[in-house]
């Protein structure tokens, strides 16, 4: 429970963590952070670059990757591997936002889902495994409604 009397947004937390880690502010990183905050699911670096070029503030591809690396190192974003040759990134939400991914192998659609029973199974399992587990990732592959005819 917060002592500040309000719930910290992801952007606020990101700014705080970055500042504490000795980073200065910058327009490119700010643009990437704002875009990630507006998304409910994972984007690739190229999708991020394209979205930003179209928008208010273009950001070079190198900066997109650098920002994503920094944010990942600080556990503000996480990688999502969907088997589609490119890595996806999404923000890490501390309260409530935890989810996993459904991937349509025909059209490439990526959708989020969450399931409590699954999380409980993972938590119990994590205690019995020869690894100190910090994260987990679950991807379900199949065909979506529009592709039910392979």
Partner DNA sequence: GTTCTTGCAAAACCTTTGCATTTGA
Partner DNA sequence: TCAAATGCAAAGGTTTTGCAAGAAC
- Residue pair 105/142 in contact (Cβ under 8 Å)? The answer is yes
Looking at residues 121 to 150 of the shown chain, list those that interact with a second copy (rule: CB under 8 A). 121-122, 124-126, 129-145, 148
Minimal distance, residue 21 CB to DNA, in Å: 8
98 closest CA partner among 55, 150, 46, 41? 41
Q: Are 43 and 89 in contact (CB under 8 A)?
A: yes
CA–CA dist 63, 9 (Å, integer): 24
Q: Which of 35, 43, 63, 104 binds DNA (CB under 7 A)?
A: 63
Is 62 near DNA (CB under 7 A)? yes
- Separation of first and last alpha carbons in the chain: 49
Enumerate binding residues for a second copy (CB under 8 A): 79, 81-83, 85, 87, 102, 104-105, 111, 113, 115, 117-118, 120-122, 124-126, 129-145, 148
Binding residues vs DNA (CB under 7 A): 18, 22-30, 44-46, 58-63, 65-67, 69-70, 85-87
């Amino acid at each position: 429970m917060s002592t500040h009397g309000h719930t910290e947004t992801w952007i606020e937390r990101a700014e705080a963590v970055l500042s504490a880690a000795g980073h200065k502010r910058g327009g490119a990183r700010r643009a990437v952070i704002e875009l990630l905050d507006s998304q409910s699911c994972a984007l690739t670096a190229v999708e991020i670059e394209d979205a930003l070029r179209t928008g208010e503030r273009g950001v070079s591809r190198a900066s997109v990757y650098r920002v994503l690396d920094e944010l990942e190192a600080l556990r503000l974003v996480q990688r999502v591997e969907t088997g589609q040759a490119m890595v996806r990134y999404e923000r890490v939400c501390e309260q409530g936002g935890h989810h996993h991914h459904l991937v349509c192998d025909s059209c490439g659609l990526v959708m989020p889902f969450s399931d409590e029973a699954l999380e409980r199974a993972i938590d119990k399992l994590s205690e019995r495994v020869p690894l100190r587990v910090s994260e987990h990732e679950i991807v379900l592959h199949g065909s979506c409604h529009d592709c039910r005819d392979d």
